[in-house]
Amino acid sequence: MIGRLNHVAIAVPDLARAMVQYRAALGAEVGPPQDLPEHGVTVVFITLPNTKIELLHPLGAGSPIAGFLEKNPGGGIHHICYEVEDLAAARTHLQAEGARVLGDGRPKIGAHGKPVLFLHPKDFNGCLIELEEI
C-alpha cells in the first residue's frame, strides 16, 4: 500500500537559521517559507534528488507541533510522509488493522495540494506517519 517516501519533516525552533544551515552548510536547494494556517505551521521545502525535507515551525496558537517543540526545544524529526494511491482505501484498511487516524479522520489538503492523513505515532513505533495521496 505505501509507496515512495514523499518527505521527512523536521520541526525547527528557528526557521531562518535552519534555512541558512541547509542552504549554506549543506548546499541544498531551499524553497521559500509558506504559511499554512489550516495546518498551524509555516513550512519550507528542501528538494533532494530522491525526496524532500520539510522544515516546520509553529504558526499561530494551537499549532499541532507546539507540544513537540516544547518537549524537544532544539527541534527534531517530526514525521515521515509516505505516498499512497488511494487514501480512502488506505484509511479503511489501517482502521481495520486497529490504527488510529488522527483528527476527525477526514483528509486535509496538504502542502502539495493533495489530500493527507496522519496516523498516531504510538501505533507505529513512536513515529508520526503522514499519508499523501498521489
Question: x/- contact string, 43-72, with ligand LP2KCY5N (CB under 6 A)?
Answer: x----------x-x-------xx-xx--x-
* Partner from Co ion, ligand LP2KCY5N, none binding residue 99, C-beta < 5-8 Å depending on class: none
Quick one: which of 16, 11, 132, 29 has its CA closest to 79? 11
DSSP state letters, 1-20: ---SEEEEEEE-S-HHHHHH
- Residue 35 backbone phi and psi in degrees, to 5: -80, 130
- Residue facing ligand LP2KCY5N at closest CB distance: 110
Q: Which does 128 bind (CB under 5 to 8 A by kind): Co ion, ligand LP2KCY5N, none?
A: ligand LP2KCY5N
CA dihedral 63, 64, 65, 68 (to 10 degrees): 120
Grid cell listed for 111: 502542502
Which residues are near ligand LP2KCY5N by CB under 6 A?
Answer: 9, 36, 39, 41, 43, 54, 56, 64-65, 67-68, 71, 78-79, 81, 102, 110-111, 116, 118, 121-122, 126, 128, 130
